[in-house]
A and B are shown apart, each in its own frame.
Chain A
Amino acid sequence: MAPISALAQVDRTAAETQIKAAFLYKFSGFVEWPPKVFARPDSPFTIGVIGADELAAELEQIVKGRTVLERAVVVRRMRRGESVAGIQMLFIGQAEGARLAEILANAKGQSVLTVTESEDALSHGSMINFVFVDDKVRFDVALPQAERGALKISARLLAVARKVVTSS
């Protein structure tokens, strides 16, 4: 219905987006990347975002003036088919829909922490997938995919996860 409803819906989605963006930033502190993922000692920590412009905007606000692994943080808005080289974390928004599997396949086996917000995304190769449970933003983790990318996910992050998939 009319605009106030629409606005409230947008607000709600915006709140969800804010929380997801905060999670993405937090994840970086609970995952260990192999040192080779950074080309140079001063290479920034780069978070790629596909199909989620508003989340990217929110994330840009969050990372302003913050560091990850003592590196500057860069948010890169990416297009489908773009190489994931130089990316440490990749968020694929729901807007990508059916193209999710294709994008995940592209990142498979690389040391890129893939994060999604679509049902069944873990079965398509995503490592962390956001779910909405009881008004809260939670996430599921798939360990085998992370291991294939030589990423180590800390026990504390796993403890907060709603569900941890241990075998593929």
Chain B
Amino acid sequence: MSAARVWIATIAALAAFAANAQTGKPSDLADLSLEELANLEITSVSRRAERLSDAPASVFVITGDDIRRSGATSIPEALRLAPNLEVARVDAHQYAISARGFNNTIANKLLVLIDGRTVYTPLFSGVFWDAQDTLLEDVDRIEVISGPGATLWGANAVNGVINVITRRAAETQGTLLVAGAGNLERGAAARQGGKLGTDGAFRVYGKISDRDHTSRANGTSVPDSWDSGQAGFRADWGTAAGAFTLQGDAYRGTIDQATAGDIRISGGNLLARWARQLAGGDRVQVQTYFDNTAREIPGTFEERLNIFDVEFQHALRAGSQHSVIWGGGYRRADDHVSNTAAIAFLPADRNLRWGNLFVQDEIALRGDQLRLTLGTKAQSNPYTRTEFLPSARIAWKPDASRLVWSALSRAVRAPARLDRELFVPGQPPFFVLAGGPDFRSEISNVLELGYRAQPSRRASYSVTLFHSVHDHLRSLEPGPAGPVIGNEMEGKTTGIEAWGSLQVAERWRLSAGLLVLDQNLRLKPGSGDTMGVAAAGNDPKHQWSLRSSLDLPGRQEFDVMLRHVGPLPSPAVPGYTALDARYAWHFERGLEVALIAQNLFDRSHPEFGAAATRSEIERGLFLKLRWSL
């Protein structure tokens, strides 16, 4: 039985269940009128699909429609919609984003992908969020998987995977114009889609934006204003039986800084993906890309990085019980750093190579009711011996509307250049900081228990409990001249991730999310670390959010999001509650006008960093026009 059949059977069973429970007569799509069917958005239907997802993992899906209704203008802002992520804005262009703790501007335990392209940098295994953008209107969904996804994705997926997926070109045909202006930022974008022959389609887009500088609590301005531009394209050919995708982006950005001239970032990427459905339902996929990035921070350092990546995967069925996915990949990075007196990566030029092989078997133990998923990945990296990333997951589905799952995984955060090769100052003696020649991989063993349910057609929720045991976390140990990066921290993280949604009425939807986090880190006996566990991250003990999406007569929309983030311990950042709202009008010929207000409760508040040096995040008002021709 294919996944789609399982899903359809699930839907059919659920429809029957909902029908019996609610009205006593069949109530499925076939009972809608022609007009209703023609107005049914796939996004809202697939949202239902997501709630019924059989994936035995903590998965939250931000749909393209959610992003539109949030008024977000960047990927990090859109990520605030995921209850299983911590998102803290640091200043005009920097964010600290993590899942399950360890949040930091150099957070390094997330794997972030945009259309299958890994975007975390081998410099510190984290993400330069100011260099990651796409036309948000073309985003189909963002899948946020908290917890280890290492078996299938890669060595950095210790605490989660963020998967930004854009629509196929055939779904973004015609012209789209977007323009917006507000007190903190302005932007404009255009996209044009068209056909290529009989079975192909393409789109091209361009966007520009500029964001104002931030200020400190005392009103002093922080020189971090940021302007950026990006252009890109995507072309898709073929059908489900055989498809080919070619896509690419190019971007540049300029960010103000206090001294020595502007920070300049630029880059480009080109990706090709070929997928084919074979006889018997097998599926093979080959993907390759080239990614170039440059970052010039005058007075600090300059980096030029070229990455080449190729991967292969094959999904097949073996007998009636086994669904197997196996594959492998090779990744090569050529990193060139121009060092300064302030800091240095030594050696300045570095060729890095990674290789991996993985296999996963999903075993149907009792039909679709009980499924066991076993998998492992072997990953080589430039610094340590081959790391093994095994996981075992079990999912029990007593009926179509409930899923209980549990997983046990070993995740590995392999060394990055920062751990081994960063030296401060840039010349000996390195009395501030020296990379650890023996720095080894950080290891997390994670136990998860989850429950997802759809008690009625209108309501669904998900609860995940997790307990992670970490070892060999990064610490700063005394060295000959100053601190040397070592692995003498360990600890545990325990927490709850929960979310749910309720379709109160046909036109009114409520969603809620909750994150509770208890992190206990300690230095191992014998460690000489002086920075303490605060260096590992700064996380709230809890955060929650409430979202209301209301469709009003006359094609108007009113959206409100209330979110609370608890205080951060060290450096201390007060907890805050923020209210964001959006009111939108839809006019004839595809014109949408939206008024978006962010942080309505306070004039400004900090979200991350030490009091003396941190930026305040101000109240924002933004007027947005979106016109699809």
Contacts and interface: CB of A to CB of B under 8 A. Distances in A.
B316 to A, nearest CB: 13
B315 A6 contact: yes
Given A7-B54, A8-B143, A26-B37, A14 B153 contact: no
Contacts of A136: 38-42
A19 interface: yes
Interface residues of A, number: 47
A54 B8 CA distance: 8
A30 B34 CA distance: 10
Contacts of B239: 94-95, 97
Contacts of B29: 18-19, 21-22, 62
A153 B25 CA distance: 29
B291 to A, nearest CB: 16
Interface string B192-217: 00010011000000000000000000
A65 B37 CA distance: 21
A166 interface: no
Given A19-B42, A136-B41, A4 B11 contact: no
A1 B273 CA distance: 10
Contact of A62 (B28, B41, B53): B28
B3 to A, nearest CB: 5
A8 B34 contact: no
B41 A4 contact: no
B479 interface: no
Given A1-B113, A8-B61, A120 B198 contact: yes
B564 to A, nearest CB: 29
Contact of A7 (B5, B55, B199, B241): B55
Interface in A120-148: 120, 132-139
B7 A10 contact: yes
B4 A54 contact: yes
Interface in B39-64: 39-43, 45-46, 48-50, 52-55, 57, 59, 61, 64
A57 interface: yes
A134 B41 CA distance: 8
Given A1-B116, A62-B28, A95-B240, A11 B46 contact: yes
Interface in B494-546: none
B42 A135 contact: yes
Interface in B94-131: 113, 116
A32 interface: no
Contacts of B5: 54, 57
B628 interface: yes
Contacts of B283: 6
Given A22-B30, A25-B30, A137-B37, A12 B46 contact: yes
B55 A3 contact: yes
Contact of A16 (B7, B42, B53): B42
A39 interface: no
A15 B42 contact: yes
B165 interface: yes
Interface in B240-256: 240-241
B12 interface: yes
A66 interface: yes
B152 interface: yes
B50 A8 contact: yes
Contacts of A135: 41-43, 64-65, 171
Pick from A7, A30, A94 the residue with the most CB of B within 10 Å: A7
B145 interface: yes
Contacts of B145: 4
B424 interface: no
A153 B580 CA distance: 48
B43 A2 contact: no
A68 to B, nearest CB: 11
A1 to B, nearest CB: 5
B236 to A, nearest CB: 13
A15 B34 contact: no
A13 B46 CA distance: 9
Contacts of B38: 136-139, 160
B621 to A, nearest CB: 28
A102 interface: no
B141 interface: yes
A95 B30 contact: no
B163 interface: yes
B617 interface: no
A83 interface: no
B433 interface: no
A25 B37 CA distance: 12
Given A8-B50, A19-B40, A26 B4 contact: no
Contacts of A2: 149, 152-153, 313, 325
Contacts of B307: none
B588 interface: no
A16 B50 CA distance: 14
Nearest to B242: A97
Contact of B46 (A6, A8, A57, A119): A8
Contact of A15 (B30, B45, B116, B140): B45
A19 B50 contact: no
A146 B288 CA distance: 46
A67 interface: no
Given A19-B29, A62-B30, A137-B37, A4 B171 contact: no
A25 B31 CA distance: 10
Given A57-B8, A58-B8, A11 B53 contact: yes
A4 B57 contact: yes
A87 B297 CA distance: 70
B3 A10 contact: yes
Nearest 9 A/B pairs, CB to CB: A11-B49, A22-B29, A15-B45, A2-B152, A135-B41, A62-B30, A22-B30, A160-B34, A12-B46
Interface of A: 1-8, 10-19, 21-23, 25-26, 30, 54, 57-58, 61-62, 65-66, 94-95, 97, 119-120, 132-139, 156-157, 160
Given A15-B49, A135-B42, 17 more contacts: A2-B313, A3-B55, A3-B315, A4-B57, A4-B59, A7-B3, A7-B54, A10-B7, A12-B140, A15-B48, A18-B11, A19-B45, A22-B28, A58-B12, A61-B8, A62-B30, A160-B35
25 contacts: A1-B113, A2-B325, A3-B152, A4-B53, A4-B55, A4-B145, A4-B163, A5-B143, A7-B3, A8-B165, A11-B49, A15-B48, A17-B8, A19-B40, A22-B30, A23-B34, A54-B2, A54-B8, A57-B5, A62-B28, A62-B30, A135-B42, A137-B37, A137-B42, A139-B38
